Each structure stands twice: as C-alpha cells, then as structure tokens.
Amino acid sequence: MLKNVTECNKYKNRDMSTERHEEYQYLNLLKDLLEDGKLEEGRNGKTIRGVGAAMHFSLENGKIPVFTTKKSAWKTCIKELLFFCKGQTDNKILTDQKVHIWDGNTTAEFLETRGLSHYTPGRDLGPLYSFQWFHWNAPYTGCDADYSGKGINQLQKVIDDLKNPETRNSRRHVISAWNPEQLDQGVLPPCHILFQFIVTDDKKLSCLLYQRSCDEFLGICFNCISYSALTIMIAKMCDLEPYEFIHYGGDCHIYSDHMQQCQEQISREPYPFPTLEILNKRENINEYVLEDFKLNDYQHHPQLKGAMRA
C-alpha cells in the first residue's frame, strides 16, 4: 500500500513554511513510488508500482487542480472531455482538433491485438467512456452509427436528479464506464471506471472518481483536470456550487522511462492553482464548446515530456 493513502491531507514528506498546497499530494505520491514502488513487467512495459492512493482537491471559488510543476495541456484535456460529453467514439473528431491521445490505440496493428481488425484504423474507439455514459449496453455497430435513444443515458439521469431538489441529496448519483459485456469491444478497457456525485449542505457538489489503472506521470494530470472540469460544468447546469474532487487510484504506476522526469518534477515548488470559469450555462451537456472554458492565472513550470503507452 502506498504511504500517502491515509496521508492525503498531511503532506508529510515536505517541510513548508508557507500554506500547504494540494499539489503536494500528487508530488508525494510520485516520491513514494520512486522510493518504494515495486518494479513490474506489465502489458506495455516496465513500471514501478504501488497499490492504493487518494487525493482531495478543493473546487471552491473556481479553483481547479491543473498541476503547476509542469505545463499541463489543459485545452487538449477539455477537448477530450467535450468529446466524451457528446457520446462520440470516432477518434478522427479528436485528431481534427490536434488531439492525439488515442492515436496509438487505433492503429491497424493495435486493433489486431484486440481482435478488432474490423474497426476503421485511426477512427473507431469502440464503446468506451462516452458510449457507456450515454448509451450503456446498447449494441455497438461502429463509430458512424446513430445511437440516439439507445441504451441507458447514465449521465443525463444524474444531471436530472441533481437539478431536482427532491433527489439531489441521493447517494445514487453513480456513473460506470466498466461494462463487462462490452469490454472486449473497446480499444482498451476503461481506466477511470466509476464516478459518483454527492451534494452536501443542499448546494455543494463533490465528485469522487475511482481509477483502476493510473499512469501517474502522464494520465493522472489529465484525469484530475477532466473530472474537476466536469464537476464544475455540472454544478453550473444544476445551480450548485463546486466543492471537491476526490481521486482514488488502484494500480498506481510510473513507467520506467518516465522516472527521470518525475524526479525533476518532485524537485519543483508548486504555484497556486488556477481558477476555471464556465462562461455559459447550457441546457444540455453536449452543447458545451471549448470557448465556454476560461482558465485564469495559470502559472507553471516548464513542460516535461514522456512517451505515451498504447
């Protein structure tokens, strides 16, 4: 078990004279892995690995955990989130926006390893996050099909219930991307598999995410931005106040060729987190566009690059 799983708000590895910064939860997690992680040979390369971690980030007053100890491509992250929020599964929609997160998973060679050679290379992702959010368990026939009204719209049900004062305090605002019946139809089984919204004090909206597989250097930075932004969006739509994003990680790992970059990153002092404004209140979540998002006061250290794994 990783040391910081029960230390998520204590930041015990740092001696700081200034106010404690929430980004140290992430930096301490990297430090724990570098010092105590176990070397493992995984599906797509060697990693140092730990099990179980938790991080809590405040979303009050527009604050959002866009990590500052390296430059985060936050617009790329928002573009992918909006892709999910439209129920889309065609990677070309992303590549046309210069988003290449899924390119390695849609090559003809990779699709063959997944038994998906009938998918169109460079395009079809299969029934992943966006599909399960909006069309849970509908028969999947390709990224060009019209799935309107098919399957279960998990996300819309949660939004409707959060808008309703009589149901917003429910403990059942849960959305799952892990569908055992369709796992082998996606280019990858989902990594961030389940999230829950909770309202406290009748107005404060929190999101809890469980992620089974955590690429700590590249992926987690994106996941924290994405689900925090989603929470802020939904709070805006439902006349609630963003309160907290909580990330639970299962298999937490650093790829062997990311270790040097992580060593550099943990040596850096974080800047204050930026704030996110949602400029428009949309009636439907699939109507949001990139121009609706304004990030303020994002100060950051230089970029640290690393190879993505398919």
Domain count, the chain: 1
Instruction: List the CATH number of the domain containing 285.
Output: 3.30.572.10
Tokens 């819309």, residue located: 156
Q: Are 24 and 269 in contact (CB under 8 A)?
A: no
Could you give the CA distance from residue 84 to residue 273 in angstroms, rounded to a whole number? 25
Taking only the tens place, the pLDDT of each residue in 58-82 is 999 999 999 999 999 999 999 999 9
Q: What residues pair up with 142 in beta bridges, in sequence order?
A: none
Q: Tell me if 13 is assigned to some domain.
A: no
- Of the residues 143, 191, 214, 224, only one is catalytic, namely 191
Q: Tell me if 160 is assigned to some domain.
A: yes
Q: Tell me if 264 is assigned to some domain.
A: yes
Q: Tell me if 273 is assigned to some domain.
A: yes
Taking only the tens place, the pLDDT of each residue in 119-167 is 999 999 999 999 999 999 999 999 999 999 999 999 999 999 999 999 9
Could you give the CA distance from residue 298 to residue 190 in angstroms, rounded to a whole number? 30
Q: Tell me if 304 is assigned to some domain.
A: no
The model carries a pTM of 0.93
Length of the chain, in residues: 310
Residue 124: give the domain boundaries: 3-7+21-225+232-296
Q: Are 163 and 237 in contact (CB under 8 A)?
A: yes
Query: In this structure, how many other beta carbons lie within 10 angstroms of the beta carbon of residue 172?
Result: 10
Indicate left, alpha or beta for 64 from its phi (over 0: left) and psi (-120 to 50: alpha).
Answer: beta
Under the banding of pLDDT at 50, 70 and 90, the label for residue 19 is: low
Could you give the CA distance from residue 74 to residue 196 in angstroms, rounded to a whole number? 23
Q: Tell me if 253 is assigned to some domain.
A: yes
Q: Are 275 and 64 in contact (CB under 8 A)?
A: yes
pLDDT value at position 2? 63
Backbone Cα Rg of the chain: 19
Q: Are 150 and 165 in contact (CB under 8 A)?
A: no
In the residue annotation, 252 being an active-site residue is answered as no
DSSP 119: S
Mean pLDDT of 272-277: 98
Please check the confidence at residue 6 and state whether its pLDDT lies above 80. Answer: no
Q: Tell me if 185 is assigned to some domain.
A: yes
Could you give the CA distance from residue 78 to residue 125 in angstroms, rounded to a whole number? 18
Please check the confidence at residue 10 and state whether its pLDDT lies above 80. Answer: no
Q: Tell me if 115 is assigned to some domain.
A: yes
pLDDT value at position 5? 43
Mean pLDDT of 188-201: 97
Assign 212 to helix, strand or coil. Answer: strand
Q: Are 190 and 177 in contact (CB under 8 A)?
A: yes
Per-residue CA distances from 96 to 89, 111, 242 (Å)? 14, 20, 31
